[in-house]
Every structure is written in C-alpha cells, then in structure tokens.
C-alpha cells in the first residue's frame, strides 16, 4: 500500500500542470525521474514491491534535484480576494494543497483551534495562517508563496 501511495504521489508530482513544461523537458533530473517512475510502476505491477519502493525513492531523489520546483507548502495564508473569497474548500482544491475541494474537512480539523471563528468553517479572515497536514506522507515545508512553482497532488 505504501509503495502504491508513493508511486501515486510521484505520478502527481511528475505530471503537475503547475510545473513549467519548458523548464522540465530540458532538465536531465526530471527525465531520469520520469524513467525511474515508469520502472517503479512496472516493478509494482510485476509484484516486486521492494524494487518498486526503491525505484520510487530514487525517482523522488531525482525530483529533489530539479531546479525551480519548491516543496509543497506546509501552510497557507488566507488572502483577501473580493471576487472569489478564499474558503476551506477552495484552498483544499488548490493543486499544491490537496487538489480536491472535498478535503476541506481535513484543513478544518487541523486548524479549528487557531481559527478566529471555529464555530463557522465558512468564515476565514485574511491573514489567518492555515496548517496543511500531509495526506499520504508527502513532504511539506514552509509557507505558500504565490511566485513559487509547486508540484501538484492531482
């Protein structure tokens, strides 16, 4: 199960629409990560779970060497967006958070003790900092930066 999750995260990371295609297509570490991911999936399908895990870890190590990608953020600062306010479901839907608006409950549970209005999950105030817990062991670090390029989870 852990191997399948790791391979899934790598697939999402490798195929992220947020990553610049021009930069990635010319990066040798990215090309190697794609190759290792393919080998990991083949090993998994053949029942070689230890081999698949090893190959997935190697792919992840190659991805860490890709220039220009930031690790997934561990926190997000609520913004004032008049036309389309930040909400827990909108934030959960961002590719660098969970890529799934239905995961808003996970954000709520992780942050309810620090929200200014914990009794109403629909009220978020600009400047509130939300912790983004990992959902499948993905590594997260630092706060969200609008100028950064992040791998997406979905």
* CA dihedral (136, 140, 124, 12) positive or negative: negative
Whole-number Å distance between alpha carbons of 111 and 118 = 8
Question: Is residue 92 within 8 Å of residue 104, measured between CB atoms?
Answer: yes
State the 10-residue block means of pLDDT for the chain, 154 residues long.
53 45 66 86 92 86 71 91 90 92 96 93 93 84 85 60
Q: Mapped to the 3 state alphabet, what secondary structure does 72-84 carry?
A: ECCEEECCCCCCC
Whole-number Å distance between alpha carbons of 37 and 49 = 13
pLDDT for the residue 18: 38
User: CATH number for the 70-154 domain, one of 3.40.50, 3.10.350, 1.25.40, 1.10.1760?
Assistant: 3.10.350
Two tokens, residue 73: 């953020």
* Beta-bridge mates of residue 131: 75
Q: SS3 for 122?
A: coil
pLDDT for the residue 31: 82
> Measuring CA to CA, which residue among 147, 132, 52, 71 is closest to residue 100?
132
Beta-carbon contacts of 147 under 8 Å, excluding residues fewer than 6 positions away, are: none
Could you list the beta-strand ranges (E) of the chain: 75-77, 129-131
pLDDT for the residue 63: 74
Whole-number Å distance between alpha carbons of 126 and 78 = 5
pTM: 0.60
Task: Please give the biggest Cα pair distance in the chain.
Answer: 51
């Amino acid at each position: 199960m852990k191997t399948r999750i790791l391979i899934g995260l790598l697939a999402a990371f490798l195929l992220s629409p947020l990553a610049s295609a021009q930069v990635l297509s010319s990066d040798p570490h990215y090309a190697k990560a794609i190759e290792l991911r393919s080998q990991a999936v083949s090993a998994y399908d053949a029942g070689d779970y230890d081999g698949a895990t090893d190959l997935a870890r190697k792919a992840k190590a190659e991805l860490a060497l890709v220039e220009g990608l930031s690790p997934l953020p561990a926190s997000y600062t609520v913004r004032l967006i008049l036309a389309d306010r930040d909400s827990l479901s909108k934030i959960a839907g961002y590719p660098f958070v969970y890529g799934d608006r239905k995961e808003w409950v996970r954000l709520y549970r992780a942050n309810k003790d620090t929200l200014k209005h914990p009794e109403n999950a629909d009220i978020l105030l600009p400047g509130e900092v939300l912790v983004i817990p990992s959902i499948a062991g993905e590594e997260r670090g630092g706060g969200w930066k609008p100028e950064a390029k992040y791998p997406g989870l979905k």
